[in-house]
């Protein structure tokens, strides 16, 4: 449909996949899973549903050139640089504004740039069903993912009563959003059978999303009105508009600011595979292991090693002897060695590297 748009959120500081991912080259600019940068995979996945000329990408201002290079089919002026990070609420409000300025009847899908999805056809089918509902109804649609295990690294949503069927897929009222739980709570969610992982994808008419911000986060809506006045329908003014007003916006997630409060949030269950790929051990789910359970990329030599994840830079040989369950990542700037069970603490390590005078390795 001509009024369907996608706005891809490509933020992040590049800590969870250090040392490959850095503030200058964060996860969405890397082929963490697959052969192309994650943001480029997200754009390609929309083919046949939303063409590149109706795709916007929101990223950090210092990553604009790199995102444009990674996604050459997206018009350059539609890769928009945030002068400062203000979390997903500001990004969602800006997404609605950009689409509304282009098309008053526009329906947008707000999508993270760095999720791994292999079944692109089912991905498009789910989004197409969500677009069809959002186009006609005053609903904010999210996409929940069936829980495969009691993950503590994902947010969850509780599925309520069935509201209808769109293009063969049922949709439901969202009763509540919940943040990342502890293991026992996550196990309870899985056992209960009515909780889904929160994918961070939302579909709504731009005007419906803007109304939700006016009701539930009026300060952010006021900031968008100031940006809109500077823009006045002229996208080439976006850099100046954001430079003047964006830093004053409250830093908060869209879940906290709007979704947890709005009564008109509904959900489709994803008909596709999905993985947030939140830390190094997650890549093992997308790579074929050897007979000893090792997954490797680059020039890797193993002897008596089991269950390891090894990523090299393609030039340097990485050799492991008699070790198990490690994550080893080598780049020209730094080498990481950690147990897989400690990968979630990587942000703490990166901070220590910076504090110890290794900022060049942590940031370059």
Q: Are residues 94 and 203 in the same domain?
A: yes
Q: Are residues 172 and 321 in the same domain?
A: no
Q: Are residues 324 and 177 in the same domain?
A: no
In a domain, 207, yes or no: yes
pLDDT at 314: 85
Please tell me the total count of domains within the chain.
Answer: 2
Q: Are residues 110 and 179 in the same domain?
A: yes
In a domain, 37, yes or no: yes
CB 80 within 8 A of CB 94: yes
Q: Last residue of a domain, which of 239, 269, 299?
A: 269
CB 114 within 8 A of CB 10: yes
**What range does the domain containing 313 cover?**
280-363
Give me the numbers of helices (H) and strands (E) for the chain, helices first please: 11, 15
Task: Indicate the pTM of the whole model.
Answer: 0.94
Per the prediction, the chain carries an average pLDDT of: 95
pLDDT at 89: 98
Q: Last residue of a domain, which of 234, 269, 304?
A: 269
Q: CATH number, domain at 16?
A: 3.90.550.10
Q: Are residues 224 and 152 in the same domain?
A: yes
Residues contacting 72, CB < 8 A, separation 6+: none
Strand pairing of 169-178 and 107-112? unpaired
In a domain, 275, yes or no: no
354 is written with which tokens? 């910076």
Instruction: State pLDDT tens for residues 251-292.
Output: 999 999 999 999 999 999 999 999 999 899 999 999 999 999
């Amino acid at each position: 449909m001509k009024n369907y748009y996608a706005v891809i959120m490509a933020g992040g500081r590049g800590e969870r996949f250090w040392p490959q991912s850095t503030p200058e080259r964060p996860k969405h600019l890397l082929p963490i899973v697959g052969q192309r940068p994650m943001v480029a995979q997200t754009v390609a996945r929309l083919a046949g549903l939303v063409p590149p000329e109706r795709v916007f990408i929101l990223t950090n201002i210092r990553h604009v050139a790199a995102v444009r290079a990674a996604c050459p089919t997206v018009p350059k002026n539609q890769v928009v640089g945030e002068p400062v990070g203000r979390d997903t609420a500001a990004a969602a409000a800006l997404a609605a504004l950009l689409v509304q300025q282009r098309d008053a009847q526009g329906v947008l899908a707000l999508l993270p740039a760095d999720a791994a999805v292999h079944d692109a056809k089912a991905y498009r089918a789910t989004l197409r069903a969500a677009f069809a509902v959002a186009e006609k109804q005053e609903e904010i649609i999210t996409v929940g993912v069936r829980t495969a295990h009691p993950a503590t690294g994902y947010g969850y949503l509780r599925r309520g009563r069935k509201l209808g069927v769109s293009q063969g897929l049922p949709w439901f009222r969202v009763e509540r959003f919940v943040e990342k739980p502890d293991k026992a709570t996550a196990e309870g969610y899985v056992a209960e059978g009515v909780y889904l992982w929160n994918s961070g994808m939302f579909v709504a008419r731009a005007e419906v999303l803007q109304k939700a911000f006016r009701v539930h986060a009026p300060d952010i809506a006021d900031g968008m009105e100031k940006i809109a006045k500077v823009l006045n329908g002229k996208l080439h003014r976006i850099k100046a508009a954001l430079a003047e007003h964006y830093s004053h916006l409250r830093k908060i997630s869209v879940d906290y600011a709007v979704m947890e409060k709005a009564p008109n949030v509904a959900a489709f269950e994803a008909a596709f595979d999905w993985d947030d790929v939140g830390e190094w051990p997650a890549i093992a789910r997308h790579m074929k292991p050897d007979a000893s359970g090792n997954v490797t990329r680059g020039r890797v030599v193993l002897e008596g090693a089991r269950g390891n994840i090894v990523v090299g830079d393609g030039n340097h040989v990485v050799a492991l002897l008699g070790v198990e369950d490690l994550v080893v990542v080598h780049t020209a700037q730094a080498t990481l060695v950690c147990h897989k069970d400690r990968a979630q603490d990587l942000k703490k390590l990166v901070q220590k590297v910076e504090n110890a005078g290794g900022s060049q390795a942590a940031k370059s």
